[in-house]
Every structure is written in structure tokens, then in C-alpha cells.
Structure 1
Amino acid sequence: MNSTSFEKKQCILCNKIGGILTCDGCQQAFCGKHVIEHRQQLNIELENIMQEHDLIQQDIRLSIDNDLLLKEIDKWEKESMKKIQLVAEQTRINLKQILENSNNQILKTCQDVASKLLSAREAENFSEIDLKRWIEQLNELKSQTKLLSMIHIVEDNKSPIYLIEIKQTNTVNTYTKNIELLSSSRRIEERFIEGNGLAIIEDGGLRIKHIDSDHKFIYFHGQKSYTDGCHTLKFKIEHSTSSYSTFIGICSSDINLRQIMYHLTVVVGWFNTTEVWQHGRCIRNTKFQGSKNDEIKTNDIIQLTIDCENKQIELFHERTNKKHTVIVDSNQTPLPWKILLALRRKNDCVKILQTCSAQSSLITFDDIISTTSISGVPVPNGYNRLNWQNVLVVNGINYYTPNTGYTTGVVSPPYLIFNGYGNPMAITNMATIINGFLFDKQGLILVPSVAFRDHSSTSNSLSSDWILYIQGWYYEENPFHALRMEKTLEVIIQKDLNQNRIKMFTADGKKREDVCIDGLNQEMCIRTDDDGHIKNSFTMTNQEIELFRQSGGYDDKILFQVSVLNRNLQAIGDIYLCDDHGITFMSDIDDTIRMMNVTSLIQTLINIFSREFKAVSGMADIYRYWERKYNATFTYLTGSPDQLYPFLKEFLDREHFPSGSTYMEHFKWRNANFLAYFMQSSGVKKIDILHMFLQNTYHRLFVLIGDIFQRDPDNYASIYAQYPNRIARIFIRKYKDDDNGQQRLETVFKDIPRTKWATFETGDDLPKDIYM
């Protein structure tokens, strides 16, 4: 304060004159009383500033996580090195190939010229024209030699290796807005989207109804996947024929609905408040056992709460006002989860009343383009771990044409997304899922297998036990093999490639790894072989089989589960029951039911790694007809690699072929060239499988279906010679104008009655009555 001025002024606060002091800071005058108050106020503001300083210093310490940033840099370094090593290895291969091809060509030309020069000198038979031609050839050799020295490395500006730098961005306002949105609750809509039997899904997916006269369980999935947060759903039991007709619970979202059962380890839920199924175990709630009032009945309201954070689910019975909680082991039922309901009897009906969620997630697109950009740019695949197809983001606030739909469509400024060029857009999960199989760094594939009666201790009498076989593969992706194969196929077939098929075909088997088989009232652990294969057989009593039998159709089977020890990996497999009586259709796949053109390597590679699999016309229709008419089972045989089974299954399901056990070859990278593999004539394993089926069934008949393009006729003739009374018919696919093929069949089948075999080109050529 300055007190040297004698000019009397009014106090800025009370307007009194006299005893006035002027503040050097604010240049205002104060009386004796208020100058003290003003000084106190300045002290308070100083304290506030010091507190703010302390808070900022604390925030700095908390916000700068050196370890986290360093780890991100280390991660970028490792990933970049891995990419560089892959590119370097492929570049070495390309360089060696170029040098080898060039050297071979130059040496061959040089040897040809030398041979001609020597011959001409010895014969003394040449002219100026020959000399001129040889000089031109030598000059051409010099040019080619110079070309070798002109090989150099070209830097690709579009390389997947990106530089990183540390940047500081001002995103305080956006961040605060997003926090508010993330913490708010909102309603979400759950609906039923899929059932695995005769049932009706109506009212836009809100109501499910069992309409099958057979009293078997029909399972239903919801459309939502629950990964985090807490979610509550209400169901109304509109009709329940008995106390144990309805199952309510959850399962892992990546499980195929056709493979689901309430007693599998991936399932947790209730039949009633008195019976809980938790990871394959039935738990009786003795507290409510025998109480009719606690049973779930018609018109009851059931509330299901899915708590992903605490790994538990809760059932609330509104009529009885009772709550039941079950802990979920996420190692056995991995996230994300889906609701799972099952109805057992005809006319059982359940309806979704409402759903709510305690969490939502927000994608802002703020980090894709700058706030000044006005034109739409594509959302890149991988953004927020999603795949974006034909999705463009635009700054709707700064759009260059005012008063458009882009401007009015903005909800959270400044960005919005739209479908480009009026074409459909798609947003999907980044993980690739094909028919229930998840493709990630590691995975499990279970190929459908078979169970026979156990005749080891009986003669021709019916055994009460079964021998069950399983087959599968535990794999890990190999990016180097995938890159090398992709580059090779690009040169050979020159068409767009299906990278998912390449990724699976080039994966490595996880050798000598422990896996466990469960879901069948017994648990056993085995080790994979050197190729990563899962192979085992075990025995079950007929009583146990009946407990787990999935019947009601033509493909009686049981389901089992395989899981990898200490890893979050599970898969569900099928075992089809093949009893001593009945009829089985043993069908080849390639060029029998699926167009492959196995006689041409190029076309085979195109059909396997580029095109969508295409069915032979009419084959699925006649197979389904035979399945219904003869209550038949089906088994599929193919020389295709089992690495591609998920795509084969997708094809069989899409074309509606009958399901059944499947037997495939396996490609081994360590001892085979993949081009030679697809040119080999398979058949050794097929004939072994045929023998296995005939030797393990005493009275079952078989129909053999194949094609003329490889060894199917020879294999089938050999089998018929050993089991003439067990082979009902043989059908061979060939082109109608293939006279040479017909002559070959006449020779191969010379010892088989002509009424026992026939040819066809499409399914329409096959008889509906196989005994005619």
C-alpha cells in the first residue's frame, strides 16, 4: 500500500473521505478499516493460488506414467521389429529367386551361344549373317548381366511401419463431456434372434414359443453380448407346462447354438429356484426343495441380472420375492456372455418385458480427422477394435454446404458417420468368427466324429457300451507362413484371396499341450501330438449315452467340450452315434458335392483360397430326401486339410447338407510343399475310414458316393470286394459326355453287378429309391 499521497480520496467500499490509503496493485483507495479487510482478502487469494499450485503438482505426478509410456514405446518397437523381420525375410526370398532365375536364364543363353560357336567353327559353315546374329546375342548377354547390378532396394512409402512421436493435445472439454455420457444409464433392447429347433420367434424377437410335439429342449440366444457392467432383464413365463420346462441363464457368446446344452461347462442358469446348473454340475437348493410355491409357473415374472463386473448372475422371482445368486467362473464361461433360454414342451412360451443396462460405451471419432476437416473420410478397420465397412466420418458442423442433413444430424458435435455413396455399411467385431469358430492368435477346432458299439467283449449280440472317438486340432497362427503363402498365391492365381483361409491353413499345431475333455459326467486330460492333433477314444455305457443323447432328428449325437489347461480356450464337439443297424451314406466332398476341379492345380487353389465354396447342383436336396426316407446317417470323406474345416462346415450348413461325422487329411508344413499337397491323389485315409465303419458295425448297410476324378472308384471297388452284402449302392459323379471315364468305370467295376452302381452329374440324376 502507498501512504505518501496526501490527496484525499473516497474509500472504494464505504465512500468515506479521510485516512485514505491507495493500493499499488489495484490502484483503488481504502479507508483505515477497509484497507485491513482488503489485505486479508489478498492473503486469502494467495492461499488459494498456493493450494491450486499444490493440486496441479499432484496432478502432474499422477498423470505422467513413465512406465506406461515406456511400455507403449517398447511394444511399438517389438511389433515394428517383427514386421521388419517378416518383410526382410520375404525380400531375401524374392531376391534369391530373382537372382537364381536371372542367372539360370543367362547361363542357358550363354551355353547355347557357345555351343553354336563351337559347332560353326568345327564345321566352317557360317557367314556374315551368323556372325552378326552372334554379336547381337553377346550384346544381349552383356545387357542382361548389367541388369543384375541394377537390382536395388525401393522404399515403400505405404509401409506398415509407422514412426511414433509424443504429442500433447488439448482435449479437456471433449474428455469431460465423454465422462458424463459414460456414467449415465440408458435402456438397451434385448431380443431373441436364434433358436435351434421347431419354435416360433415373434413380436420382433421378444417372444419365443415351443411348437414341437417331441418333448425335447429347444435353446434360444439373445442378440446382445455382455462384456462389462451390470444388466437386468425381465421375462414373463406366458405358458409353462411343468415345473422344469424352462431354463433361464447365460452362456459364452461364441458357442454355436446348435452345440449348446444346459449341462455344458460354458452354461450357468436355473430350471427352477431349486435346481441350478453351474459349469456342468447340478446344484440342488435344499432350502427350497419340495416347495411348490417356489416353482416357476405360468404368468410368473422372472428378473435376470447379469453382473459382468462381479462375475455373477442373479435370478429374482417376483411372485415369491426371492433372490438367488450364482457365481460364474469366467475361465469356464468366458466373456462376453449371452442370455440362454430353453423350452422343453410344446406351447411353452416366454416373453421379454424389458431390459436395462448400467453402462454404455461411447465412440466419438474425435481422433480420426481434425476439427477443420469438412470432407468425409473412411473409418479405418481396427478403430476401437471394430471392423468398419463403407463407414465415413464427417465434420457436420463445418460442412461446406449449410443446412444439410449432415449439419442437422450431429448429436455430439462435431462429427457424425454415414454410409458412403448410398451403399450399405457394416460395423462388425474385429475378431473373425465363422460358424462358431473364433479366429485369434490361438484356437481349437473339433471335427465331428463317431461312436460305435463296443464289441470287444461280445460276439454278434448287442453291446450295452459304446466306444467314442474324438478328433480335433489345437493351433497357433503363423504370420510368416501366411505371408509367404499369400505372396506365392498372388503370383499363381492372380485373384483376390480369402485371408482367413490362408491364416488357418498356415497355422502351426500346438504340440504336446494338455487339453481336457469334459461335459459328459467324466473329465479326462490328454496331450496333443506333434502336429497339435487332439485324438482320443473312451467308453460310455448305454445309460450314459441316453442321458446325453441329442435326438429328435436324423443325426443322433452327443456333445462334448474340450478346453486348454490354463488358457481361456474352449470348443464344443459332436460325436455321431453309429449303431449296428441302419444305413449310412458315405460321401466324398470335392467334386462330389462341392465344385473343386481337382484335376487342375490352378482351379483347385482358386476354389479353395479365393472363391466362395459352390455346391454341385441338387446334391443337398437328394441327401436330405434320403435322410428323411431311410432315417439315414451321413459321413463325409475328403482329402482337403482339416485346417480348413470351419469353412467346410460353413459351406455344409449354408447349403443345408445333412450333418454328420467328417474325416479329412492334415497338411504338415515341415515335410510337404503345399502345391504338391493339392496335386496328390488322396485315398489311403479314405479307405481306412471305410474299413473302420464296416468293421465296427455288424449289420449296417452303406451307400458309397464319390467322383471319377481321383481314386474313389478304385477304393469303392476294393471295399465292395470285401463286404459285398453290406454295400447297398455305389454312385460315381462324372460328366455325361466322358466316354473315357465310363470305360474306366466298366473296367474297375467289372466284378460288381451293374445294378449295384450308377453314374450321375448332378443331384437330379440320382434315384430317390436306392434299391431300385
Structure 2
Amino acid sequence: MICLFPTYASRNPSDQRWQVRVAGMLTKSLPPESRRRSMAMGLLRRVLELDAEQLASTIFQTRANAFLFDRLPRHTVQIKMGHEYRETCVTNRIGHFETTFDLDDEQCAQLCATSDSFNRSISYEASLDDSCTTSVLGRVHIVEDEGVSVISDIDDTVKVSNVRDRRELLANTLLRTFRAVEGMPDLYRKWEAAGVAFHYVSSSPWQLSNCLREFLNDSEIPLGSLHLKLFRLQDSTPLGRLTSRKRSKRRTIERILADFPKRRFLLVGDSGERDPELYTAIARSHADNICGVAIRQLPDELKMLRRQNKRLQRLAAKLPAGCMKVFSEASEIHDMLFLSTAAR
């Protein structure tokens, strides 16, 4: 099975051609009689105390099966855009593949789904070299070299996950319909209508890429490039910790900033884990690119809330006045993006 990751295209500063990135992974589902499958399912059944109905539910089967596979290294994947095969790439030792190629403005315009000056994207197909009749569709978002972008977390920022409670996190990930944080889809749509581009950088594992794309689409949250965590079953128990190190997330964000040195960025996250510390560090080291930091304050007991407030106030003091905004309701940061960019 080929899973394609939503990526972006940026201008090559040397010749102004579009540098198009394509990435994905190639896997094979574990057979029903697999010992690894039986062990993982048994562990989840015990940890989440699942009954027979929950085990058989479509949501659980779809999400759990997303983690139960063998990776396929050293396989060739063909990339087709329009009527041409543009690139051939080979999966690495963990089944992932990534490649880039260039398009000029005319080629890009011909391949784009819309003619809007913003919110453009290119659809493409990926297939195995020995089975070109079976292909998977992917998307590359075209992001101009100037403008405003939002780099957004997903869990507990736009999607209810409850990351701080591991049991609840697993239940929200594997058992329940994904739910959007109230007000965030409407806010992001308004920003998108104003020409804002989106990059979702999350600690969720790549295995949930398809599920998260469906969630964004069903919740009418603007689509954008998706940057998730590299994850393997043996990383932790059960099914991994489902969150990643701050270091990996920082590298991803800094790569986006490097690809768009003329754009301004608003960083949006939540207080649940390390977003405030990470975003503060990035805003300090990339002051010319970061126009603001927005942190969603998660509901807490009074004692914990006081501790969180002190933490966030301490971090905000390290940034220019007004750079960090802590919010509980999406409406509180509606104007933040435009006020921040206008002030620079």
C-alpha cells in the first residue's frame, strides 16, 4: 500500500522555478494470523478494556490496522503528474520515499487544480513499477515565496486528543470519531480566505496520515502540508507514545522557515506539552520571520492552571510585548495574525 504525505512546493531562489516535493511510504498489512498483530491487539484490548463490539468497530479496525504492517524497503515508486511520469524513487530501509523535481511557471499553472493566486495545489499519482494500473493520488500545495503562513499543531490545538492522559489519548486516537476543537475550523477558514497558507506540524505518527487528512477535510479545516512523526511499533508500548521529541518538531519547522525566508509565520499550538517552549525558542531565533505565537490554554484544575499561567507568563516575557497570545476560545486570536503582520 502506498501512503502519500501532503507536501508543498517552494520557489528555488537560484532560478525561481518551483521545487516540488513528493513524499510517502510503502507498506504491506500484517496477515490476520500474524503473531505481531495478535500481540498488539491483545495489548490494546487489555489497556483500553475493550469489549467485543469495540474491537469489531470500523473506527478501531481502521485506525489499529494503520499501525499493523510491514515496511517495504528498496521498492521503486513512480510519480506521475499530468500525463507524464516525472520521477522514479526507491523506498529506504523503513519504507519511506522522498524526491524533488522542478517545474517552471507554465508547467505549474497547467497542473494546478485552480487558477487562484493562493490556495493552489497540484494533484499527482504514485504507483509501483510492477503495477502501474494501481495508483494512489497525492497533493502538493503551491506556496508563494512571500505572504503569511500558519504553522499549526494538531492534537489539542485543532483536534481534541487529551495528550496529557495517555489512556484518553489512545482512546481518542483508536476508538472515537475525531472531533475538532470548537471554533478552530471557522477561524482557520477565515484566515485561509485572506490568503494564509497552512503547515501542520504534529507529534501524531505518519500512520495516521490518511485519517488526519480525512479529519481536516470533514471538519472543513483548510488543507496544507502535513508533517508527522516517524514511528515504529517497537518505539514504545502500547503502539508507541504517540508523541515525539521537541527536537524533531523543531527541525521540521526550521526547514519550513528556511524554504520560505520571505514569508511571515504565526505559530499556533497548545499548553498541553512543549509547544510554548518550542515556539518561544523559534520566535527568538527567527525574529524576522515569526509574527506571533498563539497558545491554546487547555482546561485545568485551579492549582494546575495557576502553574500553567506562571509558565506561559515566564515564556512570554522572553518575547517582544504582544508576540505571544494565550487563548481559550478561537475568537480571542481572530485578529492576531493581521495585527501582528501589520505591526512589522
TM-score by length of 2: 0.88
Per the alignment, do residues 679 and 668 of structure 1 end up closer, same or farther by CA in structure 2, a change over 3 Å counting? Answer: closer
Cα offset for 1:677?
A: 2.8
1:665 aligns to what?
229
Give the letter aligned to residue 464 of structure 1. Q
- Of 204, 222, 240, the residue aligned with 1:677 is 240
Identify the residue that residue 476 of structure 1 maps to in structure 2.
28
1:649 and 1:684 map into 2 onto residues whose CA distance is 24
Aligned equivalents of 2:98, 2:237: Cα separation in 1 = 24
| CA pair 524-771 structure 1, distance change in 2 beyond 3 A | closer
Deviation at 1:683, TM superposition (A): 2.2
Which of 755, 758, 765 is the aligned partner of 2:322? 755
Taking the aligned partners of 1:764 and 1:651, their CA distance within structure 2 comes to 22
Is 2:280 aligned against 1:742?
A: no
Contact preservation (8 Å) 2:261, 2:289: no
Cα distance change on mapping 1:644 and 1:681 into 2, 3 Å: closer
Instruction: State the partner residue of 1:592.
Output: 157
Amino acid at match of 1:719: I
Deviation at 1:763, TM superposition (A): 1.9
For residues 629-682 of structure 1, give each alpha carbon's deviation from its aligned partner in whole angstroms, at most 9, with x where no partner exists: x2111111111111111111111111100011100012123x422437326553
Matched, 1:454 2:12: yes
AA at the equivalent of 1:445: C
Tell me which of the two structures has the higher relative contact order, counting C-alpha pairs closer than 8 angstroms and 6 or more residues apart: 2
CA contact (8 A) 2:121 2:142 kept: yes
Q: Aligned-pair RMSD on alpha carbons? A: 1.8
The 4+ residue runs of structure 1 with deviation greater than 4 A are: none
Mapped partners of 1:530, 1:446: distance in 2:
17
Provide the residue aligned with 1:9 in structure 2: none
**Match of 2:76?**
514
What residue ranges of structure 2 are gaps of 5+ in the alignment? 340-344
Amino acid at match of 2:312: L
Aligned to 2:41: 486
Distance 1:544 1:552, change over 3 A: closer
Q: Would you say the 8 A contact 1:682–1:711 is kept in 2?
A: no
> Given the alignment of the two structures, is residue 578 of structure 1 paired with residue 139 of structure 2, yes or no?
no
Report 1:362-377 matches (<5 A): none
Change in Cα spacing, 1:592 to 1:739, as seen in structure 2 (3 Å) is: same
Contact 1:625 1:768 (8 Å CA) reproduced: no
How far off its partner does 1:769 sit?
4.7
Deviation at 1:524, TM superposition (A): 2.1
Q: Percent identity?
A: 25
* Equivalent in the alignment of 1:277: none
Hey, what's the Cα distance between the residues in 2 that align with 1:685 and 1:579?
25
Q: Give yes or no for contact 2:76–2:88 (8 Å, CA) kept in 1.
A: yes
Q: Structure 1 residue 770: deviation in Å?
A: 2.4
Report the 3-state secondary structure (helix = DSSP H, G, I; strand = E; otherwise coil) of the residue aligned with 1:751.
Answer: coil
Question: Displacement, 1:725?
Answer: 2.2
Deviation at 1:751, TM superposition (A): 1.9
For the residue of structure 2 that corresponds to 1:501, the secondary structure is helix
CA distance in 2, matches of 1:600, 1:721: 30
Contact 2:6 2:138 in 1 (8 A): yes
Residue 467 of structure 1 aligns with an amino acid whose one-letter code is Q
The one-letter code sitting in structure 2 at the alignment partner of 1:610 is: L
Q: Does 1:445 align with 2:6?
A: no
Query: What does residue range 592-631 of structure 1 map to in structure 2 within 5 Å?
Result: 592-628=157-193, 630-631=194-195
Q: 1:722–1:747: structure 2 CA closer, same or farther, 3 Å change rule? A: same
In structure 1, runs of 5+ residues without a counterpart are 1-442, 458-462
Letter in 1 for 2:261: Y
Q: Secondary structure at the match of 1:677?
A: coil
CA–CA distance in 2 between the matches of 1:618 and 1:744? 25
Per-residue deviation, 1:539: 1.7
1:730 to 290, 293, 299: 293
| Equivalent-residue separation in structure 2 for 1:506 and 1:550 (angstroms) | 34
Indicate the residue corresponding to 2:342 in structure 1.
none
Q: For the Cα contact (< 8 Å) 2:272–2:298, is it kept in 1?
A: no
Alignment of 1:554-565 (within 5 A): 554-565=118-129
Change (3 A) 1:545 1:681: closer
- Aligned partner of 2:202 in structure 1 is 638
Alignment of 1:85-484 (within 5 A): 443-455=1-13, 457=14, 463-479=15-31, 480=34, 481-484=36-39
2:259 aligned with 1:710, yes or no? no
Q: If the length of structure 1 is used for normalisation, what is the TM-score?
A: 0.40
Distance 1:471 1:611 in 2: 28
Kept in 2, the 8 Å contact 1:626–1:768? The answer is: no
Tell me if the contact between 2:199 and 2:224 (Cα under 8 Å) persists in the aligned partners.
yes
**1:505 CA displacement:** 1.1
Secondary structure of the corresponding residue to residue 505 of structure 1: coil
| Shift, 1:729, TM fit | 1.5
SS at match of 1:735: coil
Whether the 8 Å contact between 1:517 and 1:523 is mirrored in structure 2 is yes
One-letter amino acid of the counterpart of residue 332, structure 2:
D
Q: Distance in 1 between matches of 2:205 and 2:242?
A: 13
**Matches of 2:331 and 2:86 in 1, distance apart?**
47
Say whether the 8 Å CA contact 2:204–2:242 is kept in structure 1: no
Query: For 2:235 and 2:163, how far apart are their aligned partners in 1?
Result: 18
Q: Structure 2 matches for 1:541-556, cutoff 5 A?
A: 541-552=104-115, 554-556=118-120
Question: Could you tell me how far apart the structure 1 residues matched to 2:103 and 2:298 are?
Answer: 46
Question: Residue 595 of structure 1: CA displacement?
Answer: 0.8
Query: How far apart, CA to CA, are the structure 2 residues paired with 1:681 and 1:660?
Result: 20
Q: Give 3-state SS (helix, strand or coil) of 1:569's partner.
A: strand
* Per-residue Cα deviation, 1:45-100 (whole angstroms, up to 9, x for no partner): xxxxxxxxxxxxxxxxxxxxxxxxxxxxxxxxxxxxxxxxxxxxxxxxxxxxxxxx
Amino acid at match of 1:710: E
- Tell me the distance in 2 between the aligned counterparts of 1:609 and 1:485: 13
1:539 aligns with 2:94: no
Q: Is the 8 A contact 1:587 1:635 kept in 2?
A: yes
What is the count of residue pairs matched by the alignment?
A: 322
Q: Deviations over 1:438-474 (max 9, x none)?
A: xxxxx1111100111112x3xxxxx431211111111
For the 8 Å contact 2:20–2:103, the answer to whether it is kept is yes
**Residue 651 (structure 1) aligned with residue 215 (structure 2):** yes
CA distance in structure 2 between the partners assigned to 1:727 and 1:602 by the alignment: 35
Worse overlay, 477-486 or 717-726? 477-486
The one-letter amino acid of 1:466's match is W
2:65 matches 1:503:
yes
Which string of whole-angstrom CA distances, capped at 9 and with x for unpartnered residues, describes residues 561-581 of structure 1?
111111243111111112211
Q: What amino acid maps onto 2:77 in structure 1?
A: V
The letter of the residue matching 2:262 is: H
Deviation string for 1:490-541 (max 9, x for gaps)?
Answer: 1111132401111111112111111111125443211111111121112222
